Amino acid sequence: MADGIRIQVRIDPRALNFFQNHAPQKLKEARKRATHAAGMVWADESKGITRAEDHIDTGLYINSIGYSTGTPSNPLYEMNEGAEKTVLKIGANVEYAEVLEKRYSIMARGLDVGTNRMRNVAATQVKNTLGL
């Protein structure tokens, strides 16, 4: 599985100060939504690579990447929130996912391809959540 990326969204210092002092839960919610949206992009890019390169002959692998796009599936989606950061682990939860990743680097390439879009959707989620 790919190691991941770090996404930082810059907020005007005055707005950040306001939210830290008057609505810290809004900042936490914005971070959670930004992380979720970025993870959806990562999953979508990985699913797209899998389809485009015809790595499998069933939908089970694609349906299990990050979020369910059909049944059966058992997506790997684990979000851990800390005081200063939120970490999302996504992947495919099928027995042959590790073999596919080692051979084709599907999730790693999905991360590479989706990085700019991930940053954009994360920033949009922060702005929308905070009303900026």
Is 11 within 8 Å of 132 (Cβ atoms)?
Answer: yes
Return the ∠ at Cα 94 (arms to 89 and 90), rounded to 5°. Answer: 10
Handedness of CA 73, 116, 108, 5 (dihedral sign): negative
> Which residues have a Cβ under 8 Å from the Cβ of 117 and sit 6 or more positions away?
41, 45
Whole-Å CA distances, 1 to 4, 55, 65: 9, 16, 12
pLDDT for the residue 57 = 60
Q: How confident is the model at residue 4 (pLDDT cuts 50, 70, 90)?
A: low
Is 126 within 8 Å of 110 (Cβ atoms)?
Answer: no
pLDDT for the residue 62 = 86
- List Cβ<8 Å contacts ≥24 apart for 67-75: 67/40, 67/43
Higher-pLDDT residue of 66 and 5 is: 66
40-56 tens-digit pLDDT: 999 999 999 998 998 87
Q: How confident is the model at residue 83 (pLDDT cuts 50, 70, 90)?
A: confident
Task: Give the E-state strand segments of 64-114 in sequence order.
Answer: 76-81, 86-91
